[in-house]
């Protein structure tokens, strides 16, 4: 994998486009065409499929580095395709979802999807999510070979975050977060007790100048709380300030 200079943060980092292959699965021709053009412009190699059954055959015969799946598709939807792929593969997977797909969204994340993007989405957001999921997958490989926390890790009470390894633990137990969820809890934990507005959390999770509905952040926070409560039923460290935003508190009342 190639190395490049990052113009945004001034550090040397891996280029997650050179040589990496992406499968795009969607029954909408316009999305297949437009998204393929965007990804190929960024240097990715793209293979497209128009339904889940076709994609399953193709990906079993010729695996790729990451798959982007629509949920609503004929013959085999994205949820079933994810389930079938997960039987033999741990390739990173991003879902494309519509506004009314929240139940399927949650099911997909539980089954092992790495992240999701709601339609309609900006091209910049798509590229950032793809790069972030590649970084997460690479970090998890490194964590499997090591185990020690990285220099930039953050600890707030029982919470430990290691961005380099995309590692989140609560009371020593792992909390499996998507890229977006990780960025939100990281933004909140950086300054415990300090309120972050929804706009600030949108900037932290999606980048500046990208429009995301406020309710999207509310949904992410709801899922964050649920995941932490699966580890600790008493978890109450993400506090809502209605009309203002959210804050992380180290010691819950």
Nearest to 182 by CA among 232, 241, 139: 139
Q: Where in the chain is the domain with CATH 3.40.50.2300?
A: 3-137
In the prediction, which pLDDT does 140 show?
A: 60
Between 11 and 200, the higher pLDDT residue = 200
Span 51-79, average pLDDT: 91
Dump pLDDT digits (tens) for 185-198: 999 999 999 999 99
Options 3.40.720.10, 3.40.30.10, 3.30.420.40, 1.10.10.10; CATH for 147-248 is 1.10.10.10
Burial class from Cβ neighbours inside 10 Å (0-12, 13-18, 19+) for residue 226 reads exposed
Between 44 and 100, the higher pLDDT residue = 44
In the prediction, which pLDDT does 208 show?
A: 62
This prediction has a pTM of 0.64
173: pLDDT confidence band, cut at 50, 70 and 90? very high
Q: Where are the alpha helices (DSSP H) in 8-101?
A: 29-41, 52-61, 78-86
Q: 139 and 164 in contact (C-beta within 8 Å)?
A: yes
Q: Where in the chain is the domain with CATH 1.10.10.10?
A: 147-248
Other CB atoms within 10 Å distance of the CB of residue 179: 22
Q: Domain 3-137 falls in which CATH fold?
A: Rossmann fold (3.40.50)
Span 45-72, average pLDDT: 93
Q: 248 and 156 in contact (C-beta within 8 Å)?
A: yes
Q: Is residue 195 helix, strand or coil?
A: coil
Chain mean pLDDT for the chain: 81
119: pLDDT confidence band, cut at 50, 70 and 90? confident
> Which of 15-24, 117-126, 129-138, 219-228: highest mean pLDDT?
219-228
Dump pLDDT digits (tens) for 128-155: 888 888 877 776 665 544 556 676 789 9
Nearest to 131 by CA among 35, 8, 25, 42: 42
């Amino acid at each position: 994998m190639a190395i490049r200079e990052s113009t945004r943060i001034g550090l040397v980092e891996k280029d997650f486009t050179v040589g990496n292959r992406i499968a795009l699965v969607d029954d909408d021709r316009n999305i297949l065409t437009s998204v393929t053009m965007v990804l190929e412009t960024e240097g990715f190699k793209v293979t497209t499929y128009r339904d889940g059954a076709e994609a399953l055959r193709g990906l079993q015969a010729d695996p790729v580095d990451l798959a982007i799946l629509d949920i609503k598709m004929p013959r085999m939807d994205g949820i079933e395709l994810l389930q079938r792929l997960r039987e033999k593969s741990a390739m990173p997977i991003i879902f494309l979802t519509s506004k009314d797909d929240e139940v399927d969204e949650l099911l997909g994340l539980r089954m092992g999807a790495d992240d999701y993007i709601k339609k309609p989405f900006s091209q910049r957001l798509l590229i950032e999510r793809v790069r972030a999921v590649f970084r997460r997958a690479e970090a998890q490989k490194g964590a499997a070979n090591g185990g020690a926390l990285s220099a930039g890790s953050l600890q707030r009470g029982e919470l430990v975050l290691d961005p380099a390894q995309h590692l989140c633990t609560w009371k020593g137990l792992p909390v499996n977060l998507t890229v977006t969820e990780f960025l939100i809890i990281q933004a909140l934990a950086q300054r415990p007790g300090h309120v972050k507005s929804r706009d600030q959390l949108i900037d932290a999770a999606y980048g500046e100048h990208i429009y995301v509905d406020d309710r999207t952040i509310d949904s992410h926070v709801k899922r964050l709380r649920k995941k932490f409560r699966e580890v600790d039923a008493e978890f109450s460290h993400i506090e809502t300030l209605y009309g203002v935003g959210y804050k992380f508190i180290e010691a819950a009342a």
